[in-house]
């Protein structure tokens, strides 16, 4: 469990990135920090592994104040995935994935073996192991980033817009894979994004942030969509502009065609109650 | 040509002297520039005073420096150490700026990622920043290597033996072949060291070599499948 206790971050020039922010991130779940740029979400994320020190308040992991843990040791115990993968241009994929186990004293051969395993876990062709990151596609690089973060089996995974820089199709695929991984691994994930669809797809708990790191609303995806706390959240989710207002109309072949507010088709709804022609479309 | 053939052992000896003066100076300038260059990136306010200040060393005319240094070092003017120190200072004047630029060229994302995975400050410097600054460091080092080798010759005027002695002797005694041999050998030495540095760079920084297009795209397809 990760707890933010009334943390603030004020920079020497007086700008407040985060003000009096409190949050509990339950273990083994995914919490998404959702907000537009400049809302302090990355600052909050980096407070967990002490890449940013709060100017007030504390961050606690399983009731231990992170300020009491050596930063280097702390970071080696927490997975971190960043946008643009943050891979080492001079290291081969397998070496990069093995970084944290190596830093934690795992022998080279063992670390490599684990790295190869992880490549498989995140869906990478083992033949890419000897490549340098410059020779991979954006999606492959992000997979390597995820594998590196998981390499020493940390309890906590911090993800800073990890899929922000890849094209939409690859992003959807990576999101799907992350959900699959999380079903197996059950890490405590803090995931930063400005993409509402990504937040709804991945979060068990979503924190909508206003500028200055103030919480607008905390809830499950369903709670947010069902009962947005105010106009800000509603606008952020796109509820006001009809993006999430759906209509259903009967389909000749059975079931319902679902469209958005503007009438663009989104998909087909089967008659869930086993209506007369539920399987007609199959 | 005849003169050169007759004096070949002498020329080779001078080449070795030349190398023993320049190589330590290049190495020392390189090693000293690393912490200074890194410091300049870490403390941006210090950058210009540091890089600019040390760069000004290059403005000191070389001959007076060779003469003044013994007074500071307590060496005699003909001692090789004297020449090596002077050459190191000139090399440093060039190399500090290259080093500051090289460390400044390491991408912030990569540096942050190195912090995030838990490298210690020292480990980050040695295993991430230094190799990534490598290509730009190498470029600077090549300039320093060539300029140092040509600069060594000046010390011959003071009586420190090097390939420069071929100019001074050749000039005094009116042997054109000696002067030509001095020029050609100095240039050849600079070229050989430069090629060695390039080769060393290839070995130490293999990630810079582009992979053949065909094999890269083939594996990318496989990866996507």
Q: Express each pLDDT in B98-117 by its tens digit.
A: 999 999 999 888 999 999 99
How far is the CA of A271 from the CAs of A209, A246, A260, A267, in angstroms? 37, 16, 19, 13
Q: What domains does chain B contain, in order, with CATH numbers?
A: 2-224 (1.10.3720.10)
C-alpha distance from B8 to closest chain A C-alpha (Å): 45
pLDDT tens column, A114-140:
999 999 999 999 999 999 998 999 999
- Sign of the CA dihedral with A177 first, then A178, A182, and A185 last: positive
The pLDDT tens digits for A47-68 are 999 999 999 999 999 999 999 9
pLDDT tens-digit series, residues A108-117: 999 999 999 9
Q: B118 and B83 in contact (C-beta within 8 Å)?
A: no
Which of B110, B117, B219 is nearest residue A80 as measured by Cβ atoms? B117
Domains (ranges, CATH) in chain A? 2-237 (3.40.50.300), 246-282 (no CATH)
- Any B CB within 8 A of A51 CB: yes
Beta bridge mates, A211: none
Span A218-233, average pLDDT:
90
Residue A239: per-residue pLDDT: 73
3-state secondary structure of B38: helix
Separation CA B132–CA B136 (nearest Å): 9
Nearest-CA distance A99 → chain B (Å): 8
E strands in chain A: 2-10, 16-25, 30-34, 56-61, 64-65, 78-82, 156-160, 188-193, 205-210, 214-219, 246-250, 256-260, 265-269
Q: What is the pLDDT of residues A140-149, one digit of tens each?
A: 999 999 999 9
pLDDT at A85: 75
Mutation for testing the B interface, residue in A86, A119, A162, A169 having most B CBs under 10 Å: A86
Min distance A139 CA to chain B CA atoms (Å):
9
Cβ of residue A272 closer than 8 Å to a chain B Cβ: no
Of residues B207 and B180, more confidence is placed in B180
Residues of A in contact with B131 (CB under 8 A): 90
Q: Is A76 on the interface with B (CB under 8 A)?
A: yes
Segment A62-109, tens digit of pLDDT: 999 999 999 999 999 999 999 887 899 999 999 999 999 999 999 999
Residue in the block written with tokens 């992880």: A118
């Amino acid at each position: 469990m990760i707890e933010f206790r009334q943390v603030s971050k004020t920079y020497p020039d007086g700008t407040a990135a985060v003000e009096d922010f409190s949050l509990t991130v339950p273990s083994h779940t995914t919490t998404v920090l959702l907000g537009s740029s400049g809302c302090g979400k990355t600052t909050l994320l980096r407070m967990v592994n002490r890449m940013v020190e709060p100017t007030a308040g504390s961050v606690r992991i399983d009731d231990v104040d992170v300020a009491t843990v050596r930063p280097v040791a702390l970071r080696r115990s927490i997975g971190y995935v960043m946008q643009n993968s943050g891979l080492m241009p001079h290291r081969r994929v397998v070496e990069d994935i093995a970084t944290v186990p190596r830093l934690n004293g795992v022998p080279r051969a063992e670390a490599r073996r684990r790295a190869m395993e992880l490549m498989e876990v995140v869906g990478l062709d083992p033949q890419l192991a000897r490549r340098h990151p410059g020779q991979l596609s954006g999606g492959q690089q992000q997979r390597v980033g995820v594998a590196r973060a998981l390499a020493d089996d940390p309890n906590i995974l911090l993800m800073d817009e990890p899929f922000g820089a890849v094209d939409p199709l690859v992003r959807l695929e990576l999101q799907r894979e992350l959900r699959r991984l999380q079903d197996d691994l059950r890490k405590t994930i803090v995931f930063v994004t400005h993409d509402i669809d990504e937040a709804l797809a991945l979060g068990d708990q979503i924190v909508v942030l206003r500028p200055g790191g103030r919480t607008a609303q905390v809830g499950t995806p369903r709670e947010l969509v069902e009962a947005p706390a105010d106009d800000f959240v509603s606008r952020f989710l796109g509820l006001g502009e009809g993006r999430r207002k759906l209509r259903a109309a009967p389909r000749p072949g059975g079931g319902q065609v679902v469209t958005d507010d503007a009438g663009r088709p989104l998909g087909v709804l089967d008659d869930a109650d086993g209506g007369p022609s539920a399987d007609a479309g199959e | 040509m005849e003169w050169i053939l007759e004096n070949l052992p002498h020329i080779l000896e001078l080449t070795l002297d030349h190398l023993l003066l320049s190589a330590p100076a290049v190495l020392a300038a390189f090693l000293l520039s690393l912490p200074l260059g890194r410091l300049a990136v870490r403390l941006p306010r210090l950058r210009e005073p540091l890089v600019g200040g040390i760069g000004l060393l290059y403005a000191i005319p070389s001959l007076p420096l060779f003469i003044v240094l013994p007074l500071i070092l307590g060496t005699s003017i003909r001692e090789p150490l004297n020449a090596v120190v002077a050459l190191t200072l000139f090399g440093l004047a060039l190399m500090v700026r290259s080093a500051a630029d090289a460390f400044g060229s390491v991408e912030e994302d990569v540096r942050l990622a190195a912090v995030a995975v838990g490298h210690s400050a020292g480990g980050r410097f040695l295993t991430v920043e230094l190799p990534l600054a490598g290509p730009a460091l190498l470029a600077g080092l090549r300039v320093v290597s060539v300029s140092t080798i040509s600069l060594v010759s000046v010390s011959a005027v003071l009586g420190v033996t090097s390939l420069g002695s071929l100019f001074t002797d050749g000039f005094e005694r009116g042997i054109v072949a000696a002067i030509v041999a001095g020029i050609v050998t100095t240039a050849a030495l600079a070229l050989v060291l430069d090629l060695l540095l390039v080769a060393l760079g290839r070995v130490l920084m293999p990630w810079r070599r582009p992979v053949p297009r065909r094999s890269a795209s083939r594996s990318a397809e496989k990866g996507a499948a």
